[in-house]
Amino acid sequence: MDELNQWLFSQPLYWIIIIGGIVLIITYYLYGAKIIGWFGELWTKQALNKLPKDKYIILNDIFIKINNSTHQIDHVVISQYGIFSIETKQYNGFITGSKYDKNWIRHLGRKKLYYTNPIRQNYGHVKALAEILNIDESKIFNIVCIPSNAKLKIKHDGELVTNITIADKIKSYQDILITNTQEIVATLTNNNITDKNTKKEHIKNIRENIIDKDPNKCPKCGGQLIHRNGKYGIFIGCSNYPKCKYIRK
């Protein structure tokens, strides 16, 4: 056994595999949520690229500011059939709710995690687009894409799609509503904020607003506070444990 261990430790490939595995674990621990979100947006982007290029113009990661309020929109599709504001959410598990609820609920046995309703969230983006483009809100469509295998029981009016159905959903709109598509593209491009510090401030403000309005949100990371069983009984901690170890005193 000792000879085997000595042989293993003398092999460069062995160390490459071990170190590589440790790096992957640490990376997922620190940036897992961002990585999952990035893949979700990538899959949605790939699905949108299937739209005919001569009819639809796709803008990704649009960041605009209206009346001192910032809005980060994952994807905007511009066409003569309307403008499509698209929010991507990479959910997992069994989720319930409706388009009018403040939060959607993810069920984990007896535990419940609460997510901000993305249809309501994206409606704010719709209103921001209507204002910055100076067009009627009825010409902008609210679409939320869930490119995952989550089991959804959500009451909605067609706003919710997957990356498999999103292109067909957009192509189902056939009434001509807009004639100045190039002007709209230019307006959004010119008003798109690319400054990284501004984006960081936007994310910080979102987290602070969520925490201020909901005492059940973790003050460290914005996750949901839930009851947990510990060595000394039940306590209130962050649902993002072990990434976040916040405990309410």
Q: Is the pLDDT of residue 102 over 70?
A: yes
Can you tell me the distance from the alpha carbon of 146 to that of 22, in angstroms, rounded to the nearest whole number? Answer: 30
- Cis peptide upstream of residue 215 (ω within 30 degrees of 0): no
- Tens digit of pLDDT for each residue in 134-192? 999 999 999 999 988 889 999 999 999 999 999 999 999 999 999 999 999 999 999 99
* 21-67 pLDDT, tens digit each: 665 555 445 544 555 556 667 889 999 999 999 999 999 999 998 88
Torsions phi, psi of 25, nearest 5? Answer: -65, -45
